Amino acid sequence: MDRLLVVGAGTMGSQIAMVCALAGHDTTVTDVTDDALDRARAQLQARLDRDVAKERRTRDDVDAAFDRLTFTTDLDAAAAGADLVIEAAVEKLDVKREVFARLDKAAPPQTILTTNSSAIMSSQIADATGRPDRVANMHFFNPALVMRCVEVVGSDDTSPETMETVTALARRLGKEPVVLHKEIPGFVANRILGAVRDEAISLLEQGVSSVKDIDTACRTALGHPMGPFELMDLTGIDIGYHAKLARHAVTGDPRDLPSRTVTELVERGDLGRKTGKGFYSYEDER
């Protein structure tokens, strides 16, 4: 399990790839454009330089990790050399099914194919491949370089060996694996987070309190490291939006649809920190 491939160089994919490289794995990260890869490389460089400056990591460790990291737009060639794939592309079922079908063709038969999604379960994707026993969810949290939890979830078709391999890999990456015994959308952590987030948005839409004050209550009354609105800005408002749509596609329950507030932000392109504006403005940081 030495050669890892991460598909998607967005916020999650790029940091997951760096986690793998820091743990000593030869890791390839792919995206559809060179621009996306250049952005990912620059963001990782800035983040890791900061860690070195703050003496959290040594320059040698960081340089060695970058040496183990390959950036490419050639998904098929990258898949051909991978022992395990972590897909972190956009949260859209049709895109994921297409990516998995392509990975299935290009990767060696023993390669395990995982998705970082929590909204889209591996049972929805596995039949796009000829190896459903080697498909699972390996779900990291944002920021992936920092958060220690990785949820490991299989479908009825996922083999115990695949679950064991993915769990052991999570441990080797320095993470704390949480194994689910049932495949449910959202898994454990996002279910709990979703309940907090929905209540926060409902309080905002009812005019009960402001974005800032609701966040303050979560931090200062409940001890959360950041409030739900700050967190949505960090993870990307579009991620939660697409996760809700995916959930709604499965359940048909109108309560699973994205809220009015989140839909408006997504339609305006205000997706959080990555676009410079979400519930808060980050123009100064940019």
Given the rule CB under 6 A, which residues bind ligand 3HC? 47, 50, 54, 118, 141-143, 145-147, 190, 193, 225-226, 231, 235, 239
Token couple for 255: 């309560």
Least separation in angstroms between CB 190 and ligand 3HC: 5
Least separation in angstroms between CB 44 and ligand 3HC: 9
Angle between helices 237-251 and 260-268 (to 10 degrees): 130
Least separation in angstroms between CB 58 and ligand 3HC: 15
Token couple for 249: 């596609």
Q: Which C-beta is closer to ligand 3HC: that of 11 or that of 158?
A: 11
Token couple for 167: 């769990």
Token couple for 250: 């499965």
Residue 286: DSSP 8-state: -
Q: Which position's Cβ is nearest ligand 3HC?
A: 143
Least separation in angstroms between CB 37 and ligand 3HC: 18
Token couple for 157: 């078709």
- Phi, psi (degrees; rounded to nearest 5) at 36: -60, -40
Active site residues per annotation: 118, 139, 151, 190
SS3 of 121-162: the string is: CHHHCHHHCCCHHHEEEEECCCCCCCCCEEEEEECCCCCHHH
Angle between helices 237-251 and 228-235 (to 10 degrees): 90
Q: Which C-beta is closer to ligand 3HC: that of 15 or that of 111?
A: 15
Q: Which C-beta is closer to ligand 3HC: that of 70 or that of 190?
A: 190
Q: Which C-beta is closer to ligand 3HC: that of 3 or that of 277?
A: 277
